[in-house]
A and B are shown apart, each in its own frame.
Chain A
Amino acid sequence: MNSSTASATSTAAPLARPATWQPVIELRGIEKVYQTKTIETVALNHVNLIIHKGEFVSVMGPSGCGKSTLLSIMGLLDEPTAGVVEIEGRAMQSYSDRELAALRNHKIGFVFQSYHLINDLSVLDNVELPLLYRPGVNGRQRRELAHTALDKVGLSSRTTHFPSQLSGGQRQRVAIARALAGRPELILADEPTGNLDSVMGEEIMELLLTLNREEGTTIVMVTHDEHMARRTERLIRFFDGSQVS
């Protein structure tokens, strides 16, 4: 999207904060511009958003509207061009690289449309991956946490399998188990059902809903599927980089 085609300012104001709800992450006036020599592309335009603890939020919008960029910024993988991302009461910009990595490791779990599993590692090793970067967790604890996460997604019998031996739905379950293994406060899911057929997509959606309801896990999910999005507590719509509802 070119700057000339990007929509104007967002109309959505930050949500009112219920007294009992704690914010997990807060975005204020976020802008993201990708600049090349010849073109300036506005991916996000003045986005304000608060995600509260225990919420299940879905983000919808056409391709290229900035949904994935929003998720990258919320996941502390990318920096906004302008605006403030606040996590644990501190602006993202005030964290060092090492601190941001630690925050990603402890607070955030990622689920991707294309699973992003490492094909040369077994299911169990894939799920252990975030715990490898967590100081003070030994091998035995890693395995216990990974087994627990795999239990939750119903794949405890597949620990020694490799991703290539699993169906698409099973791979996405492994990816969810990996996101859960470190017991994060927030799961960011980028089109988790996008590569799956409707039956498997439903299976994954049920799993996410269960995690949200039973474990109280905060989930932000990007989706193209209106039906899936309507099943979440809050639906945010994006168009040309701006939050429209």
Chain B
Amino acid sequence: MLRHLFKLIWNRKRNNLLLVSEIFFSFVVLFGVGTLLLTFAKYYLEPHGFDYEQVWRLEIRAGQNETMPRAQLDDVLRQVKALPGIQQVALTSGNVPFIFNSNTSAFSYQGRKSGQSNIYDADDHYAQVMKLHLREGRWFAKTDDGSHHRPVVISQNLREELFGNGPALGKIFTWIEPGPNPDPADEFQVTGVVDDVRMENDFGPAVPSLWKRLIPFDTTRWETANVVVRVAPGEGGELQEKIARTVAGVTRQWTTMVRVMDEDRLHKRRYTIVPVAGLALISVFLIVNVALGLFGVLWYNISQRRAEIGLRRAMGATGPDIIRQFLGEMLVVTTFGVLLGGLLAVQFPLLNAFELAPKFYLAGIGVAAVAVYCITALCAFYPSRQAAGIHPAVALREE
């Protein structure tokens, strides 16, 4: 029977071309949206690798044409830390988690090269504020003051890229193109390895990351100091006001903006979700249109093929045989569309497009295929049942 169906569809290929192309485009759209949503869902369920709850971000600005002397900055940090409800304070770079600011580069170790990695500056208290989980070694400490090379802590995935299964602690690596005589400050010595972190957004992958030890010997050229603080649970607006007053108490020219990291996360999430939701909505609209189109075409086909239905009944087909015939034809047409779409979709993992793991694309192909088959089967079922209900004697009298 399957052979018969394939033969019938193939011989009616011109009539079925529109259906096949509709199914092909539906498959491609579902594949794209499905892959994206699966990727997002997968990352969303993964741990962030740090604790953003009860963490605030302070952006301290020195003001126009103002300097930020080290002594004053230390005073600010000391006084903020002394406030009741503040658990820890750390200086960091501007690319704090969940904001639209990034600093990336690649590294090299004895010929092995890493991919693009996030680079953060962090002082000795940063790991405590962010609750990073150390897998090997230690975080920065006073003992690193005399280090000849720049002490760094790296994430597990960067460690794997640079050192594979070999030891990482104490190893020295450089930027990807260090030049003939690199400055010792551009040579990085691994003091610790932490769990992978996802600091960009809820739906992003764990990007290889590196924390350089921040030693603000001279901050006079700084315009902005980025500070992360861990606060006690339940702290809110009152403490934020106190922080602002504390900074203003040290120097009136400096201003402070206090943001809750969890709110930054939610803000970034909205920016990521809105275009995806729009795309999903458009694809749903498209799929509904395709479904209605298929439904209409099938109705039309059945009305055009009433005599054939009568003939098949006369030849010994039962009502369920007729349902199977029309459902089968629709599924064969779907198979042609899905095969064409699959041929296109499989190019994405083969070409390593968007540097996404092949498993996401393969899952996307699977989801799109199942969805397309379900949609076409649903659309074909009712007209097929109607076809099965056509009285053979009546159908045979029609031409």
Contact = CB atoms under 8 A, between A and B. Distances in A.
Partners in one complex: yes
Interface in B299-345: 307-308, 310-319, 321
B141 to A, nearest CB: 79
B316 A134 contact: yes
A229 B121 CA distance: 104
A139 B2 CA distance: 11
B276 interface: no
Contacts of B1: 132
Contacts of B37: none
A98 B393 contact: no
A77 B315 contact: no
Binding site secondary structure of chain B: helix
Interface residues of A, number: 30
Nearest to B1: A132
Interface stretch (B7-15, B170-178, B369-377): B7-15
Interface in B214-245: none
B183 interface: no
Given A97-B319, A112-B396, A104 B314 contact: yes
B142 interface: no
A161 interface: no
A196 interface: no
Interface in A86-113: 97-98, 101-102, 104-106, 110, 112
B4 A120 contact: no
B315 A104 contact: yes
B313 A101 contact: yes
Contacts of B317: 101, 133
Contacts of B94: none
B316 A72 contact: no
Contacts of B397: 68
A110 B397 CA distance: 13
A104 B396 contact: no
B311 A118 contact: yes
A122 B149 CA distance: 81
B391 interface: yes
Contacts of A106: 316
A210 to B, nearest CB: 23
A98 B311 CA distance: 16
A63 to B, nearest CB: 13
Contacts of A139: 3
A72 B315 contact: no
B392 interface: yes
Given A121-B7, A125-B7, A132-B4, A97 B318 contact: yes
A121 B321 contact: no
A78 interface: yes
A41 interface: no
Given A104-B316, A130-B315, A77 B393 contact: yes
B399 interface: yes
A235 B315 CA distance: 26
A116 B316 contact: no
Top 6 A-B residue pairs of the complex, sorted by shortest distance between their CB atoms: A105-B316, A133-B316, A78-B393, A72-B393, A130-B315, A120-B11
Interface of A: 68-69, 72, 75, 77-78, 97-98, 101-102, 104-106, 110, 112, 114, 116, 118, 120-121, 125, 128-130, 132-134, 139, 178, 182
Given A75-B314, A78-B393, A112-B396, 7 more contacts: A98-B318, A101-B321, A104-B313, A104-B315, A105-B315, A132-B4, A133-B321
7 contacts: A77-B314, A116-B311, A118-B8, A120-B8, A121-B11, A129-B311, A129-B312
